[in-house]
């Protein structure tokens, strides 16, 4: 399983507030399926980040673009594969 970092900068604060409950419900559903490694907001209020677990970048893109924040234009998203270096694991 690979990890993909998705940054979600706010582009419309009003829509962001309206869609927040739907976004949170979406995050809970994906967490229950084990598809989220970590998530959280940026302290400066500019947006947030989600680290998805997925097999491919296409799968991660599908998860990210189904987020209500993205669907409704409250936030944009940028997706990057993230290689986690763990103890005893070599860099690729």
Rounded Cα distance between 59 and 15, Å, is 26
Write the burial class of residue 52 (CB in 10 Å: 0-12 exposed, 13-18 middle, 19+ buried).
buried
Write the burial class of residue 39 (CB in 10 Å: 0-12 exposed, 13-18 middle, 19+ buried).
middle
Render each residue's pLDDT in the chain as its tens digit; 92 residues: 999 999 999 999 999 999 999 999 999 999 999 999 999 999 999 999 999 999 999 999 999 999 999 999 999 999 999 988 776 666 55
Rounded Cα distance between 1 and 50, Å, is 16
Q: What is the 3-state secondary structure (H, E, C) of 8-46?
A: EEECCHHHHHHHHHHHHHHHHHHHHCCCEEEEEECCCCC
């Amino acid at each position: 399983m690979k990890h993909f970092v998705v940054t979600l900068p706010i582009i419309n604060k009003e829509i962001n507030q309206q869609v927040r409950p739907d976004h949170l419900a979406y995050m809970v559903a994906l967490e229950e399926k084990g598809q989220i490694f970590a998530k959280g907001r940026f302290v400066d209020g500019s947006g947030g980040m989600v680290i998805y677990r997925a097999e491919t970048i296409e799968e991660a893109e599908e998860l990210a673009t189904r987020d209500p924040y993205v669907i409704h234009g409250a936030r944009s998203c940028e997706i990057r594969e993230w290689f986690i270096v763990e103890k005893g694991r070599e860099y690729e």
